[in-house]
């Protein structure tokens, strides 16, 4: 709906599409749709790590612009690229491939992100668990909330390419699991 009303106010379809795809999430969503065998909204929002409301807004705009089509099958709304959407997805994918950065720079970036996550997890352990004999329910909830952003960042790190990310990913996963085990042991003792 929004795209149609914007077109009436003087912005043409080509401008709407340009504005849409000069943003990160719409590009990720379009490429995800093109790669999925059976794309639907909830799978896409998990894949691109965005909120349901944001994904629905982007999908609605894409549908208004004739980039995707949707078909309801019970409670599930299946999505499919239109021929124009397929051309856009392929072009954007080629563009992103051409933009790939220097592998050494990407590896350094991954290492920096991983080291920051590990450092923060160590800090959470020291501040919340180390030396404690017992945790209250609210303490457990706070610890889980403090860990959650790093679990999301871990997912983002998994989607990055290059570097020795597998080693870092494994180390971060082990650290998060260890903190959770320690938290549970203190609580159950």
Task: Give the residues across from 80 on adjacent strands.
Answer: 69
pLDDT digit string, tens, across residues 34-58: 998 888 888 888 888 888 888 889 9
Query: Is the pLDDT at 110 greater than 70, yes or no?
Result: yes
- Sign, Cα dihedral of 165, 169, 175, 179: positive
Alpha carbon distance 23, 47 (integer Å): 16
CA distances in angstroms from 63 to 58, 79, 84, 99, listed in the order given:
9, 9, 11, 27
CATH of 2-98, one of 1.10.10.10, 3.50.50.100, 3.40.50.20, 3.40.605.10: 1.10.10.10
pLDDT digit string, tens, across residues 112-169: 889 999 999 999 999 999 998 888 999 999 999 999 999 988 888 887 765 567 888 8
pTM for the model = 0.49
pLDDT digit string, tens, across residues 67-79: 999 888 888 888 9
What token pair was written down for 72?
Answer: 């309801």
């Amino acid at each position: 709906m929004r795209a149609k009303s914007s077109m009436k106010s003087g912005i043409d379809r080509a401008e709407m599409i340009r504005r849409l795809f000069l943003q990160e999430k719409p590009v990720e969503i379009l490429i995800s749709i093109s790669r999925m065998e059976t794309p639907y909204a909830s799978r896409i929002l998990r894949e691109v790590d965005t909120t349901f409301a944001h994904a629905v807004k982007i999908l609605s705009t894409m549908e208004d612009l004739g980039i995707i089509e949707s078909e309801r099958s019970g409670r599930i709304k299946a999505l499919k690229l239109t021929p124009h959407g397929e051309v856009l997805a392929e072009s954007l994918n080629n563009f992103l491939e051409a933009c790939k950065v220097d592998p050494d720079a990407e590896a350094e970036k991954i290492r920096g992100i991983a080291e920051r996550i590990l450092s923060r997890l160590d800090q959470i352990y020291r501040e919340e668990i180390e030396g404690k004999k017992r945790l209250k329910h609210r303490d457990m909830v706070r610890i889980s909330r403090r860990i959650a952003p790093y679990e999301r960042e871990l997912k983002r790190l998994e989607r990055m390419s290059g570097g020795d990310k597998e080693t870092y990913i494994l180390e971060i996963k082990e650290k998060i699991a260890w903190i959770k085990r320690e938290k549970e042991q203190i609580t159950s003792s």
